[in-house]
Amino acid sequence: MRILELRFKNLNSLYGEWIIDFTDPEYISNGLFALTGPTGAGKSTILDAICLAMYGATPRLGRITESGNEIMSRQTGECYAEVLFESQAGQYRCHWEQRRAYKKADGRLQDQEHQVSEADTGKPVETKKSRVPKAIEEKTGMDFDRFTRSILLAQGGFDTFLKANIEQKSKILEQITGTEVYSLISRQVHERRREEQDKLNLLKAQIQGIEILEPEQEIQIQQALEAKQKEETGHTAELTGMAKAMEWLTLIDGLKQEISSLTREASRLKAGMDAFRPEREKLDRAVKAAVLDGDYATLLALRKQQSDDQEALNDLETSLPGFERATADQAKVLAHSEQQTVKARGELKALAPLLLKVRALDQRLAEQKKTVLEGEKSCTKDKTAIESFVKARQKEEARQSKIGKMLAQAGEYLSAHSRDEWLVSGLAGVEAQLANLQARQKERDQKEKAKRQAAQVLEQSAQKLEESSELVSRRQQVLAQVKKDLLQGRATLNELLAGRLLREYRAQKDALLREMAFLARISELEEHRARLEDGKPCPLCGAADHPFAAGNVPVPDETEKKIEALSQVIRNAEDQETVIRNLEVDEANALQRLTDSEKLKTEAENGIKHAEKTLADLNEGIETTHQAIIELKRGASETLHPLGIEQIPDHVSSLIRRLRERLEAWLSKVKEKAELETQMFGIGSELKRLEAVIDTRNNALRQAQERLEQLKGEYTAGNGERKAMYGDKDPDDEERRLNQAVAHAEGAEKQAQKRHQELLEELNRVKTQAVSLKQRITRRTTELEASEAVFSEKRHATGFPTEAQFLDARMAPDKKDALSRKARSLDTAQTELSARRKDREEKLSKETARNVTDHPLAELESRFKEKEALIKDLRDSIAGLNHRLQENRAAKERVKQR
């Protein structure tokens, strides 16, 4: 390991904070450096700081606790030590610190804090002070004792390492240099050599029972195998020849049978064609008739067109007289309509001058009536306006009275609340005082709330401390019980093994198993022992003495009992090792749970300390704030005394609100009084204006009424003249009636003219269509006769003397297609059958000419079976010889592998 940086504060004679960076180039480049100075300068304190930061103890003072701390500088309230170090596991920062209560020099010592964390990330590795030294030992490989004996020698103890025995020095050096792995490797090599030697001995015992052929025996078997294989090849060739001959005879017989089958099939096909002959004849006549289908279709179309045109001509000649009568009747209706139109136009022309005079008189009367009505409307409107002005005057008078009362009330309020006028200039200062008071009250309330929360946290932390303490106690008991069970389990294992190692029992068992294999091999040689004779040498070993042949064979029962006993011991030991491993896991789990509960306890203790300090600070702050509130209330009360406020309430916001309401009320009344005075002045001016308007409107109304009476007299005289001239009739209605009569007569005339024209056009169309049909019929008659002659000539040429015979020969398309398909199928079958028969006969002639054998098929089949049996026996012999050779090779390979 290597120390990279040291920090400490208030240790012995070194007051304040100190930092030593051992990565500085001055330390690295020079290699060696020394701590020098007079006695008491603090040289040993630097070394103590390193031990204190890592292990919470020093060589001179031992472990530092809350009951005594001789290393903290005098008249200081806190101290700490921190080391940044590097080892094979990485870089870590180890921090130790201790304080007095409230960091005061005379305060009681608090419990120390000790933790180790990763240097790069700050992630805690261990925060429980009792577990930190163990974590340091895991990261550096050294506990406090080894560290102070090898790395940091205490004053007066520099020769401790030199005086240590060989085992202690070896243990320390291995942990410092990391070479303890070589001791482990040495032990493992020794164990591995013993295991491999045991395996070799076992293999030697096993290969003694493997049999291998002698070279002469192997050569004899190989020669016999080759002879059998050569014999098997010759017989196989003969068997192949017989198989080909049998295949040829089978082919000849199959071709003959196939030709016979084709002959029978040809007979059946001929019978089918004879039965189809009548249908084939009908099909031939239908095919001939189909040649004339196009000409016959053309002839039928001409016949149909001629018949349709003749029928249409007959219909037109029948309807022509009716069209002529209807045209003559409509000509009479048209003449009557023309007379009615002339009559209506004459009546309208005769009445036109009178209508013109009446319209002029009506126009003058309408203008006079309009003038009268406008005069009446104007007078009514003037009366209404005068009445509205009178009502407005009354309304203004009522407003004048009401505002006068309100103005008096506003004056009374301002007189009664005259002291509120001070708020106009003084409220801002009062609000500032009250706002400061309100802020102080809010500050007090917040601190009271924080005090309650801190008390609650203190209570919860105390409860957690009690619960975690009980949990620590229970888990300590569980850990103690697990350790006790673990010690008992290890003692039981030692008792089972009787002071020996488990691998020694296993080695002894393996040796007995090899002995068992040897004894089994001896038992297997019983047949060979039976051939031994006393006084004659053994063919294997050459010995003349044969103790086992005289019945002196070792019995394996005693060895089996030993193996069984050893197996039982090994099984019991392995089971006990499993129990021990489970207990070790339980111990680790119990230790981890204990650590977790101790962390919870520490957290609860820290929570209590923090809550107590918070409560003390809050109580002091609440008292200070309370005194400030009293002073602020006294100043505000003196300021507000002229306004009749003797006492400041706790809720300052309500007082501020009331003061603002009083100011707003005062300002509102002042504003209201000013507005009312302005309104009173406006009302007086408006009343004067309304009086003048009412007088002017009354004079104008009298003049308009006199003019209206004069207009009414003129309108009555003109109305009498109109009645004498044309009565009550409306000239527009009369003119409209006559115009409607003229329009009706003209419309009737136009309808009659239109209908007469339509009948004339229809009559001409019928006559023209009749002429066209007569011409078409005459022209088609010649064409029809020519088509009849052509069809008759082709019909006779095709073999149909009459049209009836042609129609009888025709056939429906689907039926004709079905008969055609059947005819083609029969013809195709006949062609294919003839070709197949010819092919089979040619192949039979060719195969017969080959003359492969003269022997019958039955004789060849009998000889073929005999030859197959012989070949099978030869192959079985060959397989047996091959098997012996393969077993011999496998035995050689097993011996080679082992």
CB atoms within 10 A of CB 478: 17
How much is the pLDDT for 171? 55
Q: 801: burial class by Cβ within 10 Å (0-12, 13-18, 19+)? A: exposed
Read off the pLDDT band of 201 (50, 70, 90): low
Least confident interval from 117-121, 324-328, 522-526, 635-639: 522-526
Read off the pLDDT band of 183 (50, 70, 90): low
How much is the pLDDT for 178? 45
Among 581, 569, 570, 568, which residue's Cα sits nearest to residue 490? 581
What is the pLDDT averaged over residues 345-356? Answer: 77
What is the pLDDT averaged over residues 8-27? Answer: 87
Q: How far apart are alpha carbons 230 and 284 in whole angstroms?
A: 76
Q: Is residue 345 in some structural domain? A: yes
What is the pLDDT averaged over residues 656-676? Answer: 78
830 is in which domain, residue-wise? 215-292+811-897
Q: What is the CATH number of the domain that holds 310?
A: 1.10.287
How much is the pLDDT for 184? 58
What is the pLDDT averaged over residues 511-525? Answer: 65
How much is the pLDDT for 407? 82
Q: Which helix (H) or strand (E) holds 58?
A: strand 57-58
Least confident interval from 29-33, 351-355, 700-704, 729-733: 29-33
How much is the pLDDT for 207? 58
At residue 443, φ and ψ (nearest 5 deg) are -60, -40
Q: Is residue 109 in some structural domain? A: yes
Q: Report DSSP letters for 467-505, one per residue.
A: HHHHHHHHHHHHHHHHHHHHHHHHHHHHHHHTTS-HHHH
Read off the pLDDT band of 646 (50, 70, 90): low
Is 512 found in the same domain as 411?
Answer: no
Is 303 found in the same domain as 284?
Answer: no
Among 574, 575, 579, 578, which residue's Cα sits nearest to residue 505? 574
How much is the pLDDT for 95? 95
* CB contact set of 693 (below 8 Å; sequence gap of 6+): 389
Q: Is residue 761 in some structural domain? A: no
What is the pLDDT averaged over residues 84-108? Answer: 89
pLDDT tens column, 821-865: 888 888 888 888 888 888 888 888 888 888 888 888 888 888 888
How much is the pLDDT for 96? 93
Regarding pTM above 0.75, the answer is: no
- Judge contact between 355 and 670, C-beta under 8 A: no
Is 304 found in the same domain as 282?
Answer: no
Read off the pLDDT band of 567 (50, 70, 90): confident
Is 520 found in the same domain as 561?
Answer: yes
Give whichever of 47-56, 456-465, 676-685, 688-697 has the largest mean pLDDT.
47-56
Least confident interval from 109-123, 443-457, 498-512: 498-512
Read off the pLDDT band of 92 (50, 70, 90): very high
Read off the pLDDT band of 531 (50, 70, 90): low
Residue 218 has pLDDT above 50, yes or no: yes
Residue 189 has pLDDT above 90, yes or no: no
Q: How far apart are alpha carbons 347 and 741 in whole angstroms?
A: 10
Among 119, 129, 158, 122, which residue's Cα sits nearest to residue 53? 129
Q: Is residue 272 in some structural domain? A: yes
Least confident interval from 270-279, 572-581, 715-724: 715-724
- Judge contact between 114 and 129, C-beta under 8 A: yes
Q: Is residue 564 in some structural domain? A: yes
pLDDT tens column, 274-326: 888 888 778 778 777 778 778 778 888 888 888 888 888 888 888 888 877 88
Among 650, 592, 605, which residue's Cα sits nearest to residue 464? 605
Is 314 found in the same domain as 269?
Answer: no
How much is the pLDDT for 461? 82
Residue 710 has pLDDT above 60, yes or no: yes
How much is the pLDDT for 23? 86
Of the three residues 743, 766, 784, the one that is the final residue of a domain is 743
Q: Give percent of the chain with pLDDT exceeding 90.
A: 5
Q: Is residue 76 in some structural domain? A: yes
Of the three residues 623, 642, 661, the one that is the final residue of a domain is 642
Of the three residues 743, 759, 794, the one that is the final residue of a domain is 743
Is 470 found in the same domain as 564?
Answer: yes
Is 262 found in the same domain as 146?
Answer: no
Q: Is residue 470 in some structural domain? A: yes
How much is the pLDDT for 9? 93
Q: How far apart are alpha carbons 701 and 520 in whole angstroms?
A: 160
How much is the pLDDT for 83? 95
Q: Is residue 407 in some structural domain? A: yes
- Judge contact between 73 and 79, C-beta under 8 A: yes
**416-444 burial, b for 16+ CB within 10 Å, e for fewer?**
eeeebeebeebbeebeebbebbbebbebb
Is 436 found in the same domain as 404?
Answer: no
- Judge contact between 652 and 437, C-beta under 8 A: yes
What is the pLDDT averaged over residues 256-279? Answer: 84
How much is the pLDDT for 182? 46
Is 115 found in the same domain as 20?
Answer: yes
pLDDT, averaged across the chain: 79
Is 837 found in the same domain as 857?
Answer: yes
CB atoms within 10 A of CB 891: 15
How much is the pLDDT for 116? 94
Is 563 found in the same domain as 442?
Answer: yes
Give whichever of 7-11, 235-239, 738-742 has the largest mean pLDDT.
7-11
3-state secondary structure of 525: coil
Read off the pLDDT band of 97 (50, 70, 90): very high
What is the pLDDT averaged over residues 381-401? Answer: 85
How much is the pLDDT for 724? 77
Structure tokens at 360: 């002029």
How much is the pLDDT for 93? 94
How much is the pLDDT for 164? 58
What is the tally of structural domains in the chain? 4
pLDDT tens column, 433-482: 777 777 777 877 888 888 888 888 888 888 888 888 888 888 889 888 98
Is 69 found in the same domain as 6?
Answer: yes
